Structure 1
Amino acid sequence: MADPILIWGAGAIGGTLGAYWARAGEDVVMVDIVPEHVEACRTTGLSITGPVEEFRQVVPCVTPEELTGTYRRVVLAVKAQATLGAATALKPFLAEDGYVLSAQNGLNELEIAEVVGADRTMGAFVNFGGDWHGPGEILFGNRGAVVIGEIDGSIRDRTRDMFRLMQIFEPDAVLSDDIWGWLWGKLGYGAMLFGTALTDDSMAANFADPDRRPAWRALGREVMAVARARGVTPRGFNGFDPSAFAPEATDEITDASIEALVGFTSKTAKTHTGIWRDLAVRKRKTEVDQQIGTIVRLAQEAGVETPALRAVVDLIHDIEDGRRPQAPETLQELISRCS
């Protein structure tokens, strides 16, 4: 009996996974809201480019209106702000014994669980570099950490199955009983990435500039403080060391982790974040409210002050709404609020 994997969102993350799985002979169906992208994927094929590997793979792909059937394995790979709408739209296609894996940035597992139920929600941490460049075109800029885990910390047959699938894409993928630790680690790094999007400089250039270090220290430390207040111990990956941003860590320890990020981000073909691309290229809203705004809300509940995180939310909104440019002076405003 057929047991296809449904990927809802065929962009940088979902499209890359779909192409790798389909090439390996897995039964995959992708869903996307961009008709031209859907048509390219299912006819001429999805082109994966970049320094890691280049290939073209035809992948079955439909628009939401064309989707039929029910699916046991569903991967949700949309932008965070689209999570609620997408989870609601896919729920009728979820089999009775099915589950939804969040292959996204942020804590979207919380929102997915509210729609389909906590027992039907699985978490994932993804840190590979990918960019959607147009219909049928995705840049795979660099490999990065990939982790799979249940949100209740258990390890089930379905968790092992999804781990097997992720190993097709990333041989060094990790099966974890602490997915929240990994997700909070990514939030600390992600907060700094939102800061780098305030200018047109690359991630590596931002992290390498010593004058900008106060912003990266403050953002990382605030996220770690909120995680600690919630009883979570964030996990490190790809040069980012959460313990280096603990309240008791010295600037020297923190800066050593930032320097490691310079090394990691300087070796990718994806020089700028997807956040930067949303603002500078696609001229659309970012995930700032769903990612950084969520941390600010949780910080309020825990009684933790987060002035740097609040500043990032405000400044990203200013750029989105045309009140400020992506420029050094905008980042300088963040630095001044961190001092």
Structure 2
Amino acid sequence: MRILTVGAGATGGYFGARLARAGRDVTFLVRPERAAALRARGLRVTGPGEEIALAPQLVTADALTRTYDLVLLSVKSTALEAATRDLAPAVGPGTAIVPLLNGMAHLDHLAGRFGDAPVLGGVAKVVTTLNEHGDIVRMAPPTVLLTGERDGRPSARVDAVREVLAGAGIDTPEVPDIVAAMWHKWVFITTLVAVTSLARGAVGEVNAVPGGSEFGLAVLAEAAAVSAAAGHPVPESEVALTARTLTTPQSPLTPSMYRDLVAGHPTEVEHVFGDLAARARALAVPTPLLDLAALQLRVHQRRVAGG
């Protein structure tokens, strides 16, 4: 299986490195600056029980001429349009595209460009970041990548993709409804971003003050209500897990979007929050706390853009 990983950042770079270390045919589609850095230093992953250092196969958009069997699309939503243009030569009649973005709007974008057939659903569950050297730091478990046909039907290509992932030590359980799994991840990430962004602190810092835990659970209730109204109720077990995550004392957990916010970087506010807010309005679900988080992130976004 020829694999193209679009992006070699904290998520795509991590999964691609695991696949390459397992001997898979993996190429990373990267920008020229990232390509130069990776050629000079190599692709490195560090973290608990994990040390990877390899010389990755790289390609830039101007040199991409072949098609691939599997495309792992792992870019921020702000780079989605450019990435879609760049990867177009890689998509042939038998290509499967697994997008690893949060939210849902990217599915329509990709299907509009490549048609419905190549586009699978995808969910990444991994806690990674890039350090000052551009190395990938895995901060905590898990290492999970879910995928499936968006209509829920079994398929040989999904089985083949999952076999390749599993062979690289990536947990990839079978899911009966990948679209529902994407919604449930969306609920988790919007809740975590809203809580940490509005309170300006890690999960443990929010819980350490009066009302912090109750605030987190109120945000979770809003996000879960939108998913339920859309036809994808979050299972009680997942709600309970997210609730425990939000109320863990002294937890240092922060999502990447919050880290982008405090660092003064652009965020994925429209793709993650704006789209969810629009769907909530269409479904007549009130989301005042999520709307407040979206407002704050939009003000930040405008400031970063120089508006």
C-alpha separation between the residues in 2 aligned to 1:152 and 1:129? 28
Question: Residue in 2 aligned with 1:106?
Answer: 103
Deviates more, 1:314-323 or 1:72-81: 314-323
CA contact (8 A) 1:181 1:235 kept: no
Q: Distance in 2 between matches of 1:132 and 1:229?
A: 36
Query: 1:234, CA displacement in angstroms?
Result: 2.6
1:136 deviates by 4.1
- Among all aligned residue pairs of Structure 1 and Structure 2, give the percentage whose two residues are the same amino acid: 28
2: CA distance, partners of 1:205 / 1:64: 43
For residues 58 and 263 of structure 1, the distance between their equivalents in structure 2, rounded to whole angstroms, comes to: 39
Deviation at 1:210, TM superposition (A): 4.7
Alignment of 1:303-322 (within 5 A): 303-322=284-303
1:142-181 matches, cutoff 5 A: 142-144=140-142, 145-181=144-180
Match of 2:203 in 1: 203
Which residue in 1 is equivalent to 2:35? 38
Counterpart residue identity of residue 230, structure 2: R
RMSD of Structure 2 on Structure 1 (CA): 2.5
Distance 1:321 1:152, change over 3 A: same
Partner of 1:5: 3
What does the per-residue CA deviation read over 1:18-57, in whole Å, with 9 as the maximum and x for residues that have no partner? 1111111000110122x34212334531110122412212
Does the 8 Å contact 1:7/1:30 carry over to 2? yes
3-state SS in 2 of match to 1:54: strand
Separation in 2, partners of 1:169, 1:25 = 8
Name the structure 1 match of 2:122: 124
Q: 1:94-130, CA deviations, whole angstroms, 9 ceiling, x for partnerless residues? A: 0112121111222132322222122211111112101
Change (3 A) 1:265 1:113: farther
Q: Which runs of 5+ in 2 are unaligned?
A: none
Count of residue pairs the alignment pairs up: 301
The Cα offsets for residues 290-312 of structure 1, whole Å up to 9 and x where unpaired, read as 01111111112222222211111
Tell me the distance in 2 between the aligned counterparts of 1:56 and 1:314: 41
- The within-5 A match list for 1:1-339 is 3-33=1-31, 35-107=32-104, 108-134=106-132, 136-144=134-142, 145-195=144-194, 196-207=196-207, 209-235=209-235, 241-242=238-239, 258-263=243-248, 266=251, 271-281=253-263, 283-322=264-303
| Shift in Å, 1:135 | 5.3
Alignment partner of 2:8: what SS? coil
Cα distance, 1:274 vs. partner? 1.0
Whole-Å separation in 1 of the counterparts to 2:72 and 2:159: 15
Deviation at 1:170, TM superposition (A): 4.5
SS in 2 for 1:69: coil
User: CA 1:19/1:257 → structure 2, altered by over 3 Å: closer, same or farther?
Assistant: closer
1:173 and 1:84 mapped to 2: Cα distance?
27
In the TM superposition, residue 257 of structure 1 has moved relative to its aligned partner by: 5.0
SS of equivalent to 2:211: helix
Q: List per-residue Cα deviations over 1:188-216 (Å, max 9, x = no partner).
A: 21112212134552233335545223432
Q: Is the 8 A contact 2:192 2:246 kept in 1?
A: no
Q: Distance in 1 between matches of 2:205 and 2:122?
A: 28
Amino acid aligned to 1:180: V
Q: State the alpha-carbon separation in 2 of the partners of residues 277 and 38 from structure 1.
A: 24
Q: TM-score under structure 2 normalisation?
A: 0.88
